[in-house]
Amino acid sequence: MTSTCPRSGQMQVGHIFGSPFDATNCRKRNRRASYHAVKREFMTSSTSYIPATDRILAGVALMLGFCVTAPLLDVAAKLASDSIPVGQITAARFIVQCALMAPFVWIMGLSLRVARGQWPALLLRAVLLLASTFCFIAAIRVMPLADALAIVFVAPFIVLLVGKFYLGEDVGPRRVGAAMVGFVGVLFVIQPSFAAFGAVALFPLGTAVGFAFYILVTRGLSRRMHPVTLQFHTGLIASLLCLPVMILAQGTGAELLDPVWPEGVAWLWLLGVGFFATLSHMMMTYALSLAPSATLAPLQYLELPVATLLGYLVFSDFPNALTLTGIGIIIGAGLYMIHRERVTARQLITERAAPPI
């Protein structure tokens, strides 16, 4: 027979002959249950009770860190491209990322197991990021950092249009209009770049398209995988995809792919590419876990002035008037789109909170 102990709620198994309930054991269990309840409450409050303002400030600080470290990745890649092929720099970016993330996976005790149904999305994510990285490094090898990065900033506009016309998301005409204006800004940037550098100026547009779909794939995976594990698997898959290409390209003379043995400071630039890529992406990931995306989204445009400053200080590159106009249009369209998303979100919250009539 069974009976339930008061307070602890545990099922007590009685004597097979129906002996009376053991009150002494019940009191002991009650004391243990109370102790563990207090312990759980203390542990939960001590780890999760962080003032909302502090969490948001920490998220903002991490996002600002991303805006500073991400252009350092671009600087290191451009410096490495003087003597290292683009394909080899791209491979180094993912190999170093994988090597850096592996200890964190072990220290944090994270599982590397992946559900069978998630492998296609993981592979697609790695391919998209690999292609985006290759295109961007190929572009900044000859283009100023700010010019190339400005074109890449159309990725949010592409995500919005794909969401509306392919995924069926509810996107208003004002945000669609802002995306179109953003594309006009890109034309302002591409036109002088195309005249100066030729078809290479289109590489950042390939980066923008690849990165836009990378964001869409990441949306689904991020709900089911820890960000550290996700970064590790992405780096591992991309590294495994790069290595056969480098082996096959050995000795072919292909300008962008034929690997060489790095010399001197080139090793530092290759390590810097992987280090700053890993650091910046983890900063952005944890920033989004601490602060609302609506708060952080406008801050990402600070990456453009930082890239412009670094491009001027390190490479003596500075955008011309037409390019600066295009950059201004892209930033303005992006900020307006973020504003409209906030307005739409507030309206939805108000409608859901309103009592039924």
pLDDT tens digit string along 262-292?
A: 999 999 999 999 999 999 988 887 887 787 7
Ramachandran quadrant class, 206 (left: phi over 0; alpha: psi -120 to 50; beta: rest): alpha
Q: Are residues 252 and 327 in the same domain?
A: yes
Q: Indicate the pLDDT class of residue 249, thresholds 50, 70 and 90.
A: very high
- Classify residue 356 as exposed, middle or buried by CB count within 10 Å of its CB (0-12, 13-18, 19+): exposed
User: What are residue 3's DSSP bridge partners?
Assistant: 12
Q: Indicate the pLDDT class of residue 230, thresholds 50, 70 and 90.
A: confident
In this predicted structure, which of 11-15, 26-30, 49-53 has the lowest mean pLDDT? 11-15
pLDDT at 52: 63
What are the distances in angstroms from CA 258 to CA 10, 90, 131, 143? 68, 12, 17, 21
Q: For residues 33 and 43, which has the higher predicted lDDT (pLDDT)?
A: 33
- Domain tally for the chain? 2
Phi, psi for residue 12 in degrees, rounded to 5: -105, 130
Q: Parallel, antiparallel, or unpaired: how do β-strands 2-4 and 11-13 relate?
A: antiparallel
Note whether 62 and 284 are within 8 A (CB).
Answer: yes
pLDDT at 212: 85
Q: Indicate the pLDDT class of residue 4, thresholds 50, 70 and 90.
A: very low
pLDDT at 188: 86
Q: Are residues 39 and 119 in the same domain?
A: no
Question: How is residue 203 written in tokens?
Answer: 């590489």
Q: How far is CA 146 from the centre of its chain?
A: 20
Q: Are residues 325 and 282 in the same domain?
A: yes
Dihedral angle, C-alpha 290, 294, 298, 303, nearest 10 °: 40
Q: Share the mean pLDDT of the chain.
A: 80
User: Is residue 39 scored above 60 in pLDDT?
Assistant: no
Q: Are residues 225 and 333 in the same domain?
A: yes
Q: For residues 347 and 4, which has the higher predicted lDDT (pLDDT)?
A: 347
Name 49's Cβ contacts closer than 8 Å, sequence gap at least 6: none
> Residue 42 corresponds to which amino acid?
F
Note whether 250 and 259 are within 8 A (CB).
Answer: yes
d(CA 336, CA 347): 17
d(CA 40, CA 46): 10
Q: Are residues 337 and 311 in the same domain?
A: yes
d(CA 126, CA 91): 12
d(CA 178, CA 157): 8
pLDDT at 94: 94
pLDDT at 340: 81
Residue linked to tokens 């949306």: 219
Q: Are residues 153 and 114 in the same domain?
A: yes
Per-residue buried b or exposed e for 38-57, using 16+ beta carbons within 10 Å of the residue's own CB = eeeeeeeeeeeeeeeeeebe
Q: For residues 356 and 154, which has the higher predicted lDDT (pLDDT)?
A: 154
Listed ranges 74-83, 203-212, 313-322; the one with the highest mean pLDDT = 74-83
d(CA 299, CA 308): 16
pLDDT at 231: 86
Q: Are residues 23 and 135 in the same domain?
A: no
Name 30's Cβ contacts closer than 8 Å, sequence gap at least 6: 5, 6, 7, 8
Q: Are residues 37 and 107 in the same domain?
A: no
Q: Are residues 32 and 65 in the same domain?
A: no
Find the domain containing 178 and state its range. Answer: 50-353
Q: Are residues 26 and 134 in the same domain?
A: no
Read off the pLDDT of residues 57-72 as tens digits, 9 standing for 90 and up: 888 899 899 999 999 9
Per-residue buried b or exposed e for 190-199, using 16+ beta carbons within 10 Å of the residue's own CB = bebbeeebee
Q: Are residues 84 and 182 in the same domain?
A: yes
Phi, psi for residue 112 in degrees, rounded to 5: -95, 5
> Residue 269 corresponds to which amino acid?
W
User: Is residue 123 scored above 90 in pLDDT?
Assistant: yes
Q: Are residues 84 and 228 in the same domain?
A: yes
Q: Indicate the pLDDT class of residue 296, thresholds 50, 70 and 90.
A: confident
